[in-house]
Chain A
Amino acid sequence: MSAIFTQLNSIGWRDIIDILVVSYILFRLYVLFRGTYVFRVIAGIGFLWVFQRLAAYLGLIVTSWAMQGIIAFAAIIIIIVFRNEIKNVLQAKDVGAIFWGVSHKAFLTPEEIITSSVYALARKKIGALMVLPAKDDFQEVIQGGIPWQGILSKEMILSVFWPDNPAHDGAAIISGKRIGEVGAILPLSRRSDLPSSYGTRHRAALGLSEKTDALVIIVSEETGRVMIAKHGEITEIRDNLALQKSLREHGGRTADDQGARREENLKLGFAAFILIICVTGIWFSFSRGLETLASLEVPIEYQNRDPGMELLGSSLNAVKVHLSGAGPLMRSITTDQVKVRISLGKAAVGLNTFTLTQDNISLPPGVTLKKVEPQVVDVTLDIPIKKELPVQIDWIGKLADHLILESATLEPDIVSVIGGSRVLEKINTIYTEKISLDSINKTGRLSVNLALNPASLKVVEASNGKVVIVFTVKKREAGDE
């Protein structure tokens, strides 16, 4: 327990921001995609990822590998298959909706769908009979229902009661979010005190309401009036709000919009809480796992060099950095994430010795420096100067025994070279690249490159660092060979 508190105490403000940012991104994805198939697939991929990590932890190599492949493939599939849904989320809504807006009512409730359908039918004067069962079983009372099992929608209801539909004459049984049956024949009421304006549809509705606790909605074909029948009573409904209220009361849902909103906010809050817990857990597993040591060979970067100076050389090109941190962090760390920098702002011409400290090394968050090897770096800086140097040919190979290379001259035989003063101080001759004698058998000329060592040297001449060798070859006198 104390270990947990110790770890919690070690969380800095950066870590809190880290957790909150990731949690918020995930929460936004949840808000934007909840209720869609994309969300379900993403949740599925999340589950696969957890499974893959578990397989990797247990050493199930093939399973882990297969899971990785499926996850990668699924990510592509999401983008391709659900491109329209993703486009709708990203395009149809404004920027505010993407980053902080919350759509409280993503989908219509069954009551709203039914209400809007009923009044659409009423306006068109299309007769309709809809049964919303309560607790009583009425299967023995109704007859001839055609199984439908269609998801409730306004279009579906309108098509069921469309006059040309063979099943439009009976009643539609609506249970929850589905239309269970259509074309159901309801028992007729035998009451004799009903107004003459009531037709068969009204009698059927009343008949069922007398025998069960179901609510029946009637849309009159002649007048377009909407009525409901319940507990053997027929009531005319004047507007859609009244119908919605009746439907809610029938379904036992007396809560108003505010209550629903509260419930939704609670749901969102719970989702946010769960996400923060999950991200915190992942963060702890990444940053506060078992300490792992790693060594990296990191190249040294030099900065703030005086433009008038030249970096002539250093005792080291790279240093070995010993790091420690959580296992997952250390496994994913690369040399690109670790920087070893030496500022040459105060360096002078000649040899400069730098001792590497923590200030010279930048590390990713959660990783600590254990040791740097070697700690001391010698850097030599120089001022570039120009010097005229004679050129000499660097012959190699073997000339044929019967030949003598009598003379060889260079054009030019002196070149101007720019380089560090300390380097040029020690150089008295510039040599050509190695010229092979093996193929030389007669007098001629060759255009050759200069071998500039160190490579930082530059030839001033416009001949692109080339010189021409003019050489004379003669045959040995008899007896000399």
Chain B
Amino acid sequence: MHTLIRLLKPHEIVAGCLLCLILTAVSLEAPAQENNGNQKHLAITQAVMCEEIKEYEPHNQAAVFSIAAGKVYCFTSFNPVPRDMFVYHSWYRRDRLITTRRLSLKTPEWSVFSKIQLRQADKGPWRVEVKDHNGGVIKIIKFSITD
């Protein structure tokens, strides 16, 4: 190494150092770009209303729920989940926002659900808007609460 240094002239050493720096910078940039190309978006795979959740799965999916059932669930599955994040379940009755639930997702895939207790006054058409962490609507599920 010392012999090589002695053989090279100083300006050649400076130029070599600059080249090394450039190559290092390029080599560091390349993996980052490759990483960005592989980044995945949050995708919803299932969004249903159901009477209950059994073993992490929706049970008795339906479009109409009776007050007698006592509660109703909104079940959503996401794959992929690119990073840990939140989604929201916003419950509307006749266009009026009743409640919003914040639910956390974990990578690489995740399922979450929210529920509401049913009362007599809840009868009517409902919808649940599933929103991402930015508030963008991913999915709308419509259902009704009846006698």
* A is bound by B: yes
User: Which of A's residues lie within 8 Å of B, judged by CB?
Assistant: 390, 392-399, 404-408, 427-429, 431, 437, 471, 476, 480
Interchain CB contact under 8 A, B125 and A480? no
Interchain CB contact under 8 A, A408 and B147? no
Given A394-B125, A396-B146, A437-B146, A408:B95 Cβ within 8 A: no
Interchain CB contact under 8 A, A405 and B95? no
Q: Which among A397, A398, A404, A427 is the interface contact of B62 at CB below 8 angstroms?
A: A404
Max chain A Cβ within 10 angstroms of own Cβ: one of B62, B94, B140: B62
Interchain CB contact under 8 A, B62 and A392? no
Q: Does B106 make an interface contact (CB < 8 A)?
A: no
Could you tell me the distance in whole angstroms from the C-beta of B60 to the nearest C-beta in chain A?
6
Given A406-B62, A408-B63, A471-B63, A397:B125 Cβ within 8 A: no
Interchain CB contact under 8 A, B64 and A395? yes
Q: Which among B60, B94, B146 is the interface contact of A398 at CB below 8 angstroms?
A: B146
Interchain CB contact under 8 A, A404 and B60? yes
Write out the residue numbers on chain A whose beta carbons fall within 8 Å of the beta carbon of B127: 392, 429
Interchain CB contact under 8 A, A395 and B60? no
Interchain CB contact under 8 A, A395 and B144? yes
Could you tell me the distance in whole angstroms from the C-beta of A305 to the nearest C-beta in chain B?
30
Interchain CB contact under 8 A, B147 and A393? no
Write out the residue numbers on chain B whose beta carbons fall within 8 Å of the beta carbon of A394: 124-125, 144
Q: Does B66 make an interface contact (CB < 8 A)?
A: yes
Write out the residue numbers on chain B whose beta carbons fall within 8 Å of the beta carbon of A429: 94-95, 125, 127
User: Which of B's residues lie within 8 Å of A, judged by CB?
Assistant: 60-64, 66, 94-95, 123-125, 127, 140, 142, 144, 146-147
Contacts A/B (CB < 8 Å), 13 sampled: A392-B127, A393-B125, A393-B142, A394-B125, A397-B147, A399-B64, A399-B66, A399-B146, A404-B60, A405-B62, A406-B61, A429-B95, A471-B63
Max chain B Cβ within 10 angstroms of own Cβ: one of A390, A393, A395, A396: A395
Q: Which among A395, A399, A406, A471 is the interface contact of B125 at CB below 8 angstroms?
A: A395
Write out the residue numbers on chain A whose beta carbons fall within 8 Å of the beta carbon of B66: 398-399
A332 CA to B93 CA in the complex, in Å?
53
Given A392-B127, A406-B62, A397:B146 Cβ within 8 A: yes
A437 CA to B68 CA in the complex, in Å?
15
Write out the residue numbers on chain B whose beta carbons fall within 8 Å of the beta carbon of A404: 60-62
Interchain CB contact under 8 A, B147 and A396? yes
Write out the residue numbers on chain B whose beta carbons fall within 8 Å of the beta carbon of A406: 61-63
Which single residue of chain B is at the shortest CB-CB distance from A394?
A: B125
Tally of contacts, chain A with chain B, CB under 8 A: 53
Could you tell me the distance in whole angstroms from the C-beta of A419 to the nearest C-beta in chain B?
15
A209 CA to B66 CA in the complex, in Å?
124
Return the 8 tightest CB-CB contacts between A and B, nearest first. Answer: A395-B144, A398-B147, A405-B64, A408-B63, A428-B95, A392-B125, A404-B62, A395-B64
Could you tell me the distance in whole angstroms from the C-beta of B26 to the nearest C-beta in chain A?
51
A408 CA to B144 CA in the complex, in Å?
10
Could you tell me the distance in whole angstroms from the C-beta of B115 to the nearest C-beta in chain A?
18
Write out the residue numbers on chain A whose beta carbons fall within 8 Å of the beta carbon of B61: 404, 406-407
Interchain CB contact under 8 A, A427 and B144? no
Q: Which among B63, B124, B140, B147 is the interface contact of A405 at CB below 8 angstroms?
A: B63
Interchain CB contact under 8 A, B146 and A392? no
Other A-B pairs, 12, CB within 8 Å; known A393-B63, A407-B63, A428-B95: A392-B127, A393-B125, A393-B142, A393-B144, A394-B144, A395-B146, A396-B146, A399-B146, A404-B61, A406-B61, A429-B125, A431-B94
Interchain CB contact under 8 A, A392 and B63? no
A392 CA to B94 CA in the complex, in Å?
9
Write out the residue numbers on chain B whose beta carbons fall within 8 Å of the beta carbon of A390: 140
Q: Which among A408, A431, A480 is the interface contact of B64 at CB below 8 angstroms?
A: A408
Q: Which among A392, A396, A399 is the interface contact of B142 at CB below 8 angstroms?
A: A392
Write out the residue numbers on chain A whose beta carbons fall within 8 Å of the beta carbon of B146: 395-399, 437
Write out the residue numbers on chain A whose beta carbons fall within 8 Å of the beta carbon of B95: 427-429
Max chain A Cβ within 10 angstroms of own Cβ: one of B95, B127, B140, B146: B146
A122 CA to B64 CA in the complex, in Å?
114
A321 CA to B146 CA in the complex, in Å?
47
Could you tell me the distance in whole angstroms from the C-beta of A345 to the nearest C-beta in chain B?
36
Interchain CB contact under 8 A, A437 and B64? yes
Could you tell me the distance in whole angstroms from the C-beta of B80 to the nearest C-beta in chain A?
27
Write out the residue numbers on chain B whose beta carbons fall within 8 Å of the beta carbon of A437: 64, 146
Write out the residue numbers on chain B whose beta carbons fall within 8 Å of the beta carbon of A397: 146-147
Write out the residue numbers on chain A whose beta carbons fall within 8 Å of the beta carbon of B140: 390
Write out the residue numbers on chain B whose beta carbons fall within 8 Å of the beta carbon of A428: 95
Which single residue of chain B is at the shortest CB-CB distance from A472?
A: B63
Could you tell me the distance in whole angstroms from the C-beta of B74 to the nearest C-beta in chain A?
15
Could you tell me the distance in whole angstroms from the C-beta of A99 to the nearest C-beta in chain B?
70
Could you tell me the distance in whole angstroms from the C-beta of B59 to the nearest C-beta in chain A?
8
Which single residue of chain A is at the shortest CB-CB distance from B67?
A: A398
Write out the residue numbers on chain A whose beta carbons fall within 8 Å of the beta carbon of B142: 392-393
Which single residue of chain B is at the shortest CB-CB distance from A413?
A: B142
A437 CA to B65 CA in the complex, in Å?
11
Which single residue of chain A is at the shortest CB-CB distance from B64?
A: A405
Write out the residue numbers on chain A whose beta carbons fall within 8 Å of the beta carbon of B124: 394
Write out the residue numbers on chain B whose beta carbons fall within 8 Å of the beta carbon of A396: 123, 146-147
Could you tell me the distance in whole angstroms from the C-beta of B51 to the nearest C-beta in chain A?
8
A30 CA to B94 CA in the complex, in Å?
75
Given A392-B125, A429-B95, A480:B60 Cβ within 8 A: yes
